[in-house]
Amino acid sequence: MHISIVIPAHNEEKFLEVCLESFVVQTQPPEELIIVDDNSSDRTFEIATAFSKKYDWISVLQRKSSDKHRPGKKVVDAFNYGLKYVSNYNLIGKFDADIVLPSNYFEQMCNHFQSNWKLGMCSGLLYIKKDENWVYENIAEKTHIRGPIKLYHQACFNKIEGLRLGTGWDTVDTLLAKYHDFETLTDENLKVKHLRPTGKGYTAKNYQAKGEALYRMRYGLPLAKIALLKMALQAKSPKLYLQGIFSYLGAWLTRKERFVNTDEGRFIRQLRWKGILAKLF
């Protein structure tokens, strides 16, 4: 299976080298790895270029963009920029520059996709360093395919019409895959090191974006309240819950563009309620 990976990278000199080293030592490397230097001001381009000179399946692109952090949108914009230069593929991946893969990662990914023709998305699990140990990054269910290690089958990627521009892109893609009757899988034996924990340095603006994203995914206010409460408890900040709710209501008042249509939204709400009820009973 032809695997193409795109890594959006903005000021990633701290982690990029060790990340790329984990790609080049794969038992089955991807056929193509495109690094998009997204307007970096550090050594990101220099490090990526050094790898591209050693390995002909690695290439580097430079993209001019704003330095302003726009949750979700900036990284998807950079990914889409790289996607335009991708050759034909069976599997397409959006990976982050702050991860370290186990050496058999893509070999196992191919095994999963080849053994299940309904599999639309697959990944390992993310682990963060706590004290001297690597522990599961417990901000999502182990069945959820996380944003830094997204790998899609071409048929699924095309059916969901690519990635949405904004916070929530890495949740709505999974929900839409299920809507279109694709299966998703996480391999618990593939432990991926996440060198920069998710949410580090999260601000109120991030949680406001999450509230808006829940509206755009057609969660409905009751489900949005549950989701935002869970996030606020994880962050140990009731204030963030209120900021998320106000953001949701603001998106409703201004009629922000939705990520999904009416039928897809109905499916998402039913799926979410089903998951909540399964935990309660």
Q: pLDDT tens digits, residue range 246-263?
A: 999 999 999 999 999 999
The strand pair at 91-95 and 3-9 is best described as: parallel
- Where residue 201 falls among pLDDT bands split at 50, 70, 90? very low
CA distance 72 to 170: 9
Residues 268 and 273: their CA atoms lie apart, in Å, by 9
Determine contact, residues 97/16, Cβ cutoff 8 Å.
Answer: yes
The answer to whether 198 and 133 are in contact (CB under 8 A) is no
The last residue of one of the domains, among 175, 194, 213, is 194
State phi, psi for 186 to the nearest 5 degrees: -115, 135
Would you say 206 and 248 are in contact if contact means Cβ atoms under 8 Å apart? no
Query: What's the one-letter identity of residue 5?
Result: I
Query: Domain range for residue 64?
Result: 3-194
Res 200 pLDDT > 90: no
0.95 cut: is pTM over it? no
Q: Flag whether pLDDT at 198 surpasses 90.
A: no
pLDDT, averaged across the chain:
93
The reported pLDDT for the residue numbered 31 is: 97
User: Is there a single domain that holds both residue 175 and residue 272?
Assistant: no
With cut-offs at 50, 70 and 90, classify the pLDDT of residue 140.
confident
Average pLDDT value for residue range 132-148: 93
pLDDT of 280 > 90? The answer is no
User: Is the pLDDT at 144 greater than 70, yes or no?
Assistant: yes
The dihedral sign for the CA sequence 101, 117, 85, 197: negative
**What are the two backbone dihedrals, phi and then psi, of residue 226, each rounded to the nearest 5 degrees?**
-65, -45
Query: What SS3 state is found at 193?
Result: strand
- Written as one letter, the residue type at 76 is V
Does residue 67 sit in the same domain as residue 179? yes
How confident is residue 233, by pLDDT bands cut at 50, 70 and 90?
A: confident
pLDDT, position 147: 94
Residue at 199 is within a domain: no
Torsion of CA 260, 262, 264, 268, to 10 degrees: 100
Q: Could you tell me if 248 and 120 lie in one domain?
A: no
Residues 213 and 150 in one domain: no
Residues 92 and 144 both lie in one domain: yes
Instruction: Let me know whether 149 and 265 are in one domain.
Output: no
Question: Per residue in 34-84, pLDDT tens?
Answer: 999 999 999 999 999 999 999 999 999 999 877 665 667 899 999 999 999
Q: Which whole number is the average pLDDT over 13-33?
A: 97
Residues of the chain above pLDDT 90, percent: 81
Instruction: State the CATH number of the domain containing residue 177.
Output: 3.90.550.10
